[in-house]
């Protein structure tokens, strides 16, 4: 089984970290590979970043389709391009936010999300509403760290995330915390130990869900709205998408 983790931003060190986190939890016999788009934002922390990154995600799905990938994970917490990605393949495509929300509801009745910058909270809130999880989430919190600070050992990112998780535990009436960024994939154990709550991390959650779906021979439905897009010409620099 080959699971492809797509980091939607173009920071190679984060892609490597995401790949390593996925490989750590994968079953023996599962191959985990990690890629990122060739072009796009180095981090995703706005609606604009998200919109641009979605094109890169879709290009990575097209590439994966020529490489025998069995399931894809979109490893950014906004799940950019998720439904469009599903249109391009029969393989399962799982976003890390949806994966984390699903697993959090299986181990707690209420959870909070701890994400990066305050301005990205609305992205997680929209997803919670769209996916039907809003009722399970008490609060989306921000540690106020830019995504790329997670790549910088000197930036105290871990301490700030732990502080925010402790506040969530003390104030939100929750049973679990969801980490709100793919760049936090290597911090789960330390945060769990420091905070004393189950910590659901999306990259690892998505890998295990992808393995489950592939094992159960459940792929993306091609009946209805997730059918392959109608073939049509694309103009200008997107003309390759119509071929």
Which of 4, 9, 81, 208 is close enough to bind ligand 2AL by CB under 6 A? 9
CB of 179 to ligand 2AL, least distance (A): 9
Which of 34, 100, 181, 187 is close enough to bind ligand 2AL by CB under 6 A? 181
Inter-residue contact 185 to 203 (CB < 8 Å): yes
**Neighbouring C-beta atoms of residue 154, cutoff 10 Å:** 6
SS3 83: helix
43 in contact with ligand 2AL (CB under 6 A) = yes
How many separate helices (H) and strands (E) can be counted in the chain? 8, 8
Residue 161 in tokens: 């995330």
The size of the interface with ligand 2AL (CB under 6 A), counted in residues, is: 14
CB of 215 to ligand 2AL, least distance (A): 26
Nearest one of 60, 49, 120 to 84, comparing CA atoms: 60
CB of 164 to ligand 2AL, least distance (A): 13
214 in contact with ligand 2AL (CB under 6 A) = no
CB of 152 to ligand 2AL, least distance (A): 14
- Residue 18 or 213 having the CB closest to ligand 2AL: 18
Which of 10, 89, 116, 220 is close enough to bind ligand 2AL by CB under 6 A? 116
19 in contact with ligand 2AL (CB under 6 A) = no
Give the CA count within 13 Å in the CB-facing half-sphere of 194. Answer: 17
89 in contact with ligand 2AL (CB under 6 A) = no
Q: Is 131 exposed, middle or buried (0-12, 13-18, 19+ CB in 10 A)?
A: middle
Residue 193 in tokens: 């130990």
Residue 177 in tokens: 């915390």
Residues in contact with ligand 2AL by CB under 6 A are 9, 43-45, 76-77, 115-116, 120, 147, 180-183
């Amino acid at each position: 089984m080959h699971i492809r983790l797509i980091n939607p931003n173009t920071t190679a060190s984060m892609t490597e970290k995401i790949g390593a986190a996925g490989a750590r939890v994968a079953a023996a016999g599962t191959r985990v590979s990690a890629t990122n788009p060739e072009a796009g934002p180095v981090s995703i922390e706005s609606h604009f970043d998200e919109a641009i990154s979605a094109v890169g995600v879709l290009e990575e799905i097209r590439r994966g389709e020529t490489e025998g990938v069995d399931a894809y994970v979109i490893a950014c917490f906004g799940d950019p391009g998720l439904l469009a990605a599903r249109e391009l393949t029969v393989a399962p495509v799982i976003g890390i936010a949806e994966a984390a929300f699903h697993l959090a509801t299986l181990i707690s009745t209420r959870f909070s999300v701890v994400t990066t910058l305050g301005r990205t909270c609305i992205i997680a809130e929209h997803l919670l509403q769209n996916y039907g999880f809003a009722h399970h989430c008490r609060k989306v919190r921000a540690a106020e760290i830019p995504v790329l600070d997670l790549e910088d050992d000197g930036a105290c990112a871990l301490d700030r995330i732990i502080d925010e998780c402790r506040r969530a535990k003390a104030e939100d009436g929750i049973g679990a915390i969801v980490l709100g960024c793919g760049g936090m994939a290597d911090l789960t154990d330390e945060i769990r130990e420091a905070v004393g709550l189950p910590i659901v991390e999306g990259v690892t959650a998505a890998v295990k869900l992808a393995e489950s779906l592939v094992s159960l021979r459940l792929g993306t439905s091609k009946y209805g709205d997730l059918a392959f897009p109608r073939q049509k010409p694309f103009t200008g620099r997107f003309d390759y998408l119509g071929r």
